[in-house]
A and B are shown apart, each in its own frame.
Chain A
Amino acid sequence: MKKNLSVASMISLIIAAVLIVISIFIPWWGMKFFAPQYPEGLDIIVYPTTLDGDIEVVNGLNHYIGMKEFSNQSFPELAYMPYIVISFAVLTLLVAFLRKKSFLFGLIILYVIGGIVGLLDMYRWLKKFGTELDPKAPIDLDPFVPPIIGENTIANFVTNSYFTYGGYLLGIVFILMIFPLWKDRKK
């Protein structure tokens, strides 16, 4: 088989694979809530495998507006995310060692599709949680969809949603995947 990716490109992809694996252990996304009675803020921190932060406190507060409880069980994706992420890492390593441009294109397309699906899935959850409110809840609130990135105000809470280290890492992974295309462009 003709290898048409350079050694530099191979190294770039190996690093990308390593970063993908590392990202499993660090948070990807988060949301922080502020209110007068919570000046220090409440956190929801999302790792690819688990939820962290003040989940129980947020659940306690959310029941006032009739939002469903957050838990690892309410997001089945979290259970198989590690497999998806590891598969991507393995795939990236394969492409790195096979050093074939067409495979790299395939990988990038898969990665982009994966990213878009991921974002759509997140949006779906945010919409589901924000709009399917229990009609019997003590506080009547218009349905709302918190943004994936940015500020939002719900009742007396100001929320900030943001991508964090793991998310940034996946951005860097994308650059590392694109890099061989530039490096080994036809002269």
Chain B
Amino acid sequence: MKRKGIISAVSGLAAGVLVAAVFFADFNKEEKASSAADNKSKAEKVYVPYGEYDDYYMLASGGHSGQLFVYGVPSMRKIRTVPVFTPDPATGYGYDENTKKMLGGYTWGDFHHPAVSETKGDYDGEFLFANDVGNNRVAAVDLSTFHTADIMSLPNMGGPHAGVFVTENTEYIALPTRFARPLGGKYAELDKYKEEYKGVVSMAKFDRDKKKFNLAYQIMLPPWSYDLSDAGKKMSGDWIVMTTYNTEFATTNLEINASQNDRDYIVLINWKKLEGEVAKGNYKEIEGVKMVDPRDYKGAIYAIPVSKSPHGVDVTPDGKRFIAAGKLAPLMTVFSFEKAFEAIEKEDYSDEKFGIPVLPYKKVMEREVDPPGALGPLHTQFDDKGNAYNTMFISSEVVKWKVDTGEVIDRKPSYFSPGHSSAAEGDTVDPDGKWLVALNKIAKDNFLSVGPSHPESMDLFDISGEEMEHIMAAPVDPEPHYAQIVHKDKIKPKKLYEKDEKRKNAVWSKEDAHIERKGNEVHVYGVALRSKFVFDAKSDRPDAVTVNQGDRVFFHMTNIDLDQDITHGFGINDYNLNFEVQPGQTNTLEFVADQAGTFPIYCTNFCSALHQEMSGYLLVKPKE
């Protein structure tokens, strides 16, 4: 009886434990935890919920649109188009007084390589610089307003393709030329190419307070074509590296004739030394620019052979090495600054080209990396773990490899033909190793068709793991060249323009709006506020302006709505004019009222429920 009781009690307990185990125990716990992380879907990785922000700004070149495209990463949502070299009616860029002057009559530019201002080799997020290959200019975009702050023309240049790259502390914004050209834009026969044509590097300075460029000096170089460049960091901080092609001095059919030499060059320039020479007065003045020939100063310029027709050259985050790849001889070469400096020290030159000492390839090179079947290596980006990422234009892929050993870790296809790529903070001293965007030149049938010309595209890769993961592709307007991915905390945009009572042409209250006549000039000191224009407070119709045909009219408008996102536009019917004033901003529109008649003026940028009513008249009295 007693034993029976014990047995039934034990079996009862056992059954209870079993039942409990079946119903409540979770034998898959370990497995579930890891698979949940693996299964985090691609959509989740890029999903930024309402009310939250992306982690990064991607500041992407707009190519021959002349614009800057601002994307959020990882969502890949396009946030804004910022006009830089091209007029933009939507924002009035190129129509108002200041921006019209800045554009200087040009209606396009070829925006290639954005560069964010740096401090100690890291993005400081204050300004972005960009080159215009089309019309030889450099621009600065103020990242507190995302407005173009200054544009400077660069004489003696033939398309500054190999810029913009900034030195470690933005001492200089360097822009090497792509096409050789006679200095001063003079005429010279192509038969005299070698003698008369020059390659030039523009060394621009930027005053952050005045937001103004100044062309400090230019460097005269052989008539090679300069393709891309980068500035050194840390130990190599005084140096600039540039790739060349057309060391053949071909003047026609470059596709063939500039692809004959087995080696082209990387040109090393010591900007610090040249800065010193310019300071000593060692320069010639050409077209109003201080021009130095680095061959005149020992230690200022060297060349290193590189596999033929190289494109990108990128300095590693530690500043000790630089990586270049020949797009026609498909391998990446890791070069060492230390070794180069050693060869320079020992005056160990293998050759001299055009008066430039050539350092021996074998002695400066650390290793060659040649992933089988990988064709057309163009650019290198970096992560935080010592890895490099190369885009392969011809084989359409991204290759991840270890800089220290050359070991290839991973290869992933991209869709299609990636040119540049950009990793999160991937060209600073401190890359984040989170995302990489391959900027593709072709998209083929990735998106809904929009006719014969497909959009270009951008592939987003998660590079935080050992292997890269392709997350998504996004279409983009033509044509991406380069981008910089900057952490959102580094950029501090303004919400309003500060009210500045002393600002020129500004009027801060409705009562003060007035019109002044100076001969045939009419200056309107007006205000825009929700939901009206006031041009002349004392007039019966404060929102109408009467001028005589042929008058030069100035609308100095101040937006006195000091309220977030209340931008007012100002379009004049039939006059082909529109500009905008952002909250707290004063802006001037200047034109000649050559057409007589009655022209409605209206607010073009939606501002309030009564936006439609925000209007007035320009009356132009005909000449008798």
Contacts and interface: CB of A to CB of B under 8 A. Distances in A.
Given A60-B529, A60-B530, A138 B610 contact: yes
Interface in B509-564: 529-530, 560-563
Nearest to A138: B610
A56 B563 CA distance: 8
A60 B610 contact: no
A54 B499 CA distance: 13
Contact of B562 (A56, A63, A138): A56
A56 B583 CA distance: 12
Contacts of B529: 60
A33 to B, nearest CB: 12
A56 to B, nearest CB: 5
B561 A64 contact: no
Contacts of B560: 56
B28 to A, nearest CB: 43
Interface string A47-60: 00000001011001
Contacts of A54: 563
Interface in B560-584: 560-563
Contacts of A64: 530, 609-610
B610 A57 contact: no
A34 to B, nearest CB: 14
Assign chain A's interface to a size class.
under 10
A154 to B, nearest CB: 15
A57 B529 CA distance: 10
Interface in B570-615: 609-610
A176 B587 CA distance: 56
B255 to A, nearest CB: 57
A97 B579 CA distance: 68
Most B C-beta atoms less than 10 A away, residue of A60, A63, A64, A138? A60
Contacts of B563: 54, 56-57, 60
A60 B509 CA distance: 12
Contacts of B561: 57, 60
Contacts of A138: 610
Interface in B338-373: none
Nearest to B613: A138
Nearest to B532: A63
A54 B563 CA distance: 9
Interface string B400-415: 0000000000000000
A60 B560 CA distance: 9
Nearest to B560: A56
Interface string A69-80: 000000000000
A57 B584 CA distance: 12
Contacts of B562: 56-57
Nearest to B499: A56
A56 B562 CA distance: 7
Contacts of A60: 529-530, 561, 563
A143 to B, nearest CB: 21
Interface in A19-62: 54, 56-57, 60
A5 to B, nearest CB: 52
Contacts of A56: 560, 562-563
Contacts of A63: 530
A57 B562 CA distance: 6
B534 to A, nearest CB: 12
A49 to B, nearest CB: 21
A64 B562 CA distance: 16
A63 B529 CA distance: 11
Most A C-beta atoms less than 10 A away, residue of B530, B563, B609? B563
Nearest to B561: A60
B26 to A, nearest CB: 42
A99 B46 CA distance: 73
B500 to A, nearest CB: 14
Nearest to A56: B562
A38 to B, nearest CB: 9
Contacts of B530: 60, 63-64
Contacts of B610: 64, 138
Interface string B129-166: 00000000000000000000000000000000000000
A63 B610 CA distance: 12
Contacts of A57: 561-563
A128 to B, nearest CB: 22
Nearest to A42: B563
Interface string B419-434: 0000000000000000
A60 B609 CA distance: 13
Interface string A82-97: 0000000000000000
Nearest to B566: A60
Nearest to B562: A56
A85 B563 CA distance: 34
A130 B329 CA distance: 79
Nearest to B583: A57
Nearest to A57: B563
Interface string B442-486: 000000000000000000000000000000000000000000000
A181 to B, nearest CB: 50
Interface in B96-138: none
B314 to A, nearest CB: 42
A60 B583 CA distance: 13
Interface in B169-191: none
Contacts of B609: 64
B507 to A, nearest CB: 14
A59 to B, nearest CB: 10
B320 to A, nearest CB: 47
Interface string A169-187: 0000000000000000000
Nearest to B610: A138
Nearest to A39: B51
A41 to B, nearest CB: 12
Nearest to B529: A60
Nearest to B508: A56
A64 B560 CA distance: 16
B499 to A, nearest CB: 9
A68 to B, nearest CB: 14
A64 B531 CA distance: 9
A139 to B, nearest CB: 8
A11 to B, nearest CB: 46
B486 to A, nearest CB: 25
A99 B338 CA distance: 86
A181 B594 CA distance: 84
Nearest to B51: A39
11 contacts: A54-B563, A56-B560, A56-B562, A56-B563, A57-B561, A57-B562, A60-B529, A60-B561, A63-B530, A64-B609, A64-B610
Given A57-B562, A60-B563, 7 more contacts: A56-B560, A56-B562, A57-B563, A60-B530, A60-B561, A64-B530, A138-B610
The 8 A-B pairs of least Cβ separation, nearest first, read: A57-B563, A56-B562, A60-B530, A60-B561, A138-B610, A60-B529, A60-B563, A57-B562
